[in-house]
Chains A and B, each alone.
Chain A
Amino acid sequence: MKKKEILVLEELLGSNKKIASEIRKKLTEKGILTFNLLGSPGAGKTTLLERIAERLKSNYKMAVIEGDIETERDAERIRAKGIPAWQIITGGACHLEAKMVGKLFSKIPSDLDFLFIENVGNLVCPASYDLGEHIRCVLLSSPEGDDKPKKYPKAFTTSDCLIITKIDLVPPVPFNIELAQKEALEINPQLKIFITSALKGSGIKELVDFFILSLHTLRQHHA
């Protein structure tokens, strides 16, 4: 019996990365700006999407892919707003992978402006998986606490935007907005930060304006 050592140097998530790059390339060609929304269960991802839909739908075409461990509930909420939505039920998996998005690709209308992928509620695992998005947003709701960026660094270092949600609950919820922003920028100085309340509607316009600006940037670069 002979022993032999071989050098491999292959990325463990290489196949996911490859699929994600293909998805991003196709979406870029079609001019569909795509977002991956990360956040804990209950951070307010679906509610934020409802508010975004209300602002975007008169002038833009958007669609949503919902990732959940179980149930079709989130997709139903989005459809109730008149927005096409597809539900990915992971059946236990704690994150979405690019191949799950790839399977839905044929259903995505070519004339969309925006595609939002709402990941499974989890601040850890989804951070490792590129889904082919252009912009990754991480949500942090005030009741979760201002210390989360430091505790869950990967979600914040890999994101382009931090969306602080449920700011209408401060006070009584003790959440230091300055501290949360300072610590988030320490781990990722490039983060764009938005402070929102889906209930009161504050900060949503600024966020949507940024999305629209980003859509134009994408299309200008790939005209």
Chain B
Amino acid sequence: MHELSIIANLFEILEEKAKEKKAKKIVSVKLKVGKLSGVVPEFLITAFDIYKKDTIASDAKLEIEEVPIKIYCQKCKAEMIKDDFVFICSECGSRELKTLSGTELFLEKMELEV
């Protein structure tokens, strides 16, 4: 359960950006969370709703886009979604793979009232 400390980091960024843009309120926040990021989106939402009270984001809605684990086979050049955590190419059996997506954990955008 490190989602609360991740949300605390998120609020550091949110408050800084809101100040920079002289916002009165934060209306919505959108995160991208990869399946390999090690965090649980539902817990992020719960933590966000606890944390937002009495902040500039007190009425804000948190939206989370989950990003699948996508890999690229360096041997046969195939691209595939790997949500089973088996990092072996399903086309040729190679283990020489590159992760293209799935490790994301970032704040994509936010909507402000200015």
Chain A contact residues, CB within 8 Å of chain B: 1-16, 93-95, 97, 124-125, 127-129, 150, 153-154, 157, 185-189
- Known: A8-B107, A186-B85, A188-B87. Contact between A125 and B113, CB under 8 A? no
Closest to A15 in B: B9
Q: B21 touches which one: A4, A129, A186 (CB < 8 A)?
A: A4
The interface of chain B, by Cβ under 8 A from chain A, is 1-2, 5-6, 9-10, 12-13, 17, 21, 23-24, 27, 31, 36-39, 85-88, 95, 97, 105-114
Show 29 residue pairs from A and B whose CB-CB distance is below 8 angstroms, ordered by the A residue.
A2-B113, A2-B114, A3-B111, A4-B21, A4-B111, A4-B113, A4-B114, A5-B111, A5-B112, A6-B110, A6-B112, A8-B17, A8-B106, A8-B107, A9-B107, A10-B107, A11-B105, A11-B107, A12-B13, A12-B31, A13-B105, A15-B12, A95-B5, A124-B2, A125-B38, A129-B2, A153-B36, A187-B87, A189-B88
When C-beta atoms are compared, the residue in chain A nearest to B9 turns out to be: A12
Q: How far is the CB of B94 from chain A (nearest CB, A)?
A: 9
List A contacts of B1 (CB < 8 A): 94, 124-125
A6 and B9 contacting across the interface, CB-CB below 8 Å:
no
Chain B interface main SS type:
mixed
Using A5-B109, A186-B88 as known contacts, list a sample of 13 further A-B pairs with CB atoms less than 8 Å apart, ordered by residue number in A. A3-B27, A6-B21, A7-B108, A7-B109, A9-B108, A12-B10, A12-B13, A14-B9, A128-B105, A157-B85, A157-B87, A187-B86, A189-B88
Chain A residues with Cβ under 8 A from B95's Cβ?
185, 189
Q: Hey, which chain A residues are within 8 Å of B6, CB to CB?
A: 12-13, 128
Shortest C-beta distance, A100 to chain B (Å), equals 12
How distant is B60 from chain A, measured CB to nearest CB, in Å? 12
Known: A7-B109, A154-B36. A186 touches B2 (CB 8 A): no
Residues on B with C-beta less than 8 A from A2 are 113-114
Q: Is the CB of B2 within 8 A of A94?
A: yes
Given the complex of chains A and B, what is the CA–CA distance between A13 and B106 in angstroms? Answer: 8
Q: Are A153 and B85 in contact (CB under 8 A)?
A: yes
